[in-house]
Structure 1
Amino acid sequence: MTRRLPDGDSLLIRTDFSDDALWRDVVDIVSQPQTDDGEVYVAELTLVDDRAFDRITLKELVAEIATSPRSYVFVVDSDAIADPEHSVLAVDTSGDSGDHPTFRVHPSQMPTVESNLSIDNMDFEEFSSAVAADGVFRGFEYE
């Protein structure tokens, strides 16, 4: 099966095809606008809903992306489908080595993460270092 990634900066790749309704629900909730200090943010995601990516491993996915200029992708995997919060996997694809850091993004935070990564305002490590104990980014804690 041939895999092809579409054009677009911020890909949301579906790798679990077990439940079409839940996939649509996840897309809907990660696409909700977020308001911060009067500013409205929306995650500008390019959806990859292609069965060629069904059950692709992280290693295989990173290999597919290796030839593209993308430094990150978002993945709706089996954990995102099973998780009641539907936290999406964020993957740093910028490294050359086999080390590709990941963290999960709570859907309410997708606009923050996507918009900042897409314009290089913040880097992957800034978000991954602010995850909760369960590995999910739910926003920055300010003291």
Structure 2
Amino acid sequence: MSPTPPSDTGIAERLGLKPGMIVMESGYDDDVDEDLRDEIAERIGDDMVDEDTDEVVDVVLLWYRDGDGDLTDVLVDSISPLADDGYIWLLTPKRGRDNYVEPSDIAEAASIAGLSQTSIATIGHEWAAARLVGRKSSGGKR
């Protein structure tokens, strides 16, 4: 049997995702957690949109690994499509995994990008997540 938690207490729900939310996925690669992606689509009732979308989104699900480019730049790019009350879930490999990202690097990049980390979550065996929100003093959305 698989150690997956029951769907009624799933990761997508713990991430604050609700039916009808628009979730943009960025940083997809062959190492992402496909079960989580499926669970998110089931939870929101639709597929996630990709980073080329013109829609305003509620949440950005950002897969990021050490070596994926400058984290500050990636975060700034992820802010643009966010609704005023939207947030980013930054998913990084867990400590001890290939391409692990130091928490201090996340904190520094988030701060420079004008974001604050509000919580963390464990995403399966391979990924950890940090919830990042914009500071209220930032300007309006396009």
TM-score normalised by structure 2 residue count:
0.33
Q: Which has the higher contact order (CA 8 A, sep 6+)?
A: 1
Higher helix share: 1
Higher strand share: 2
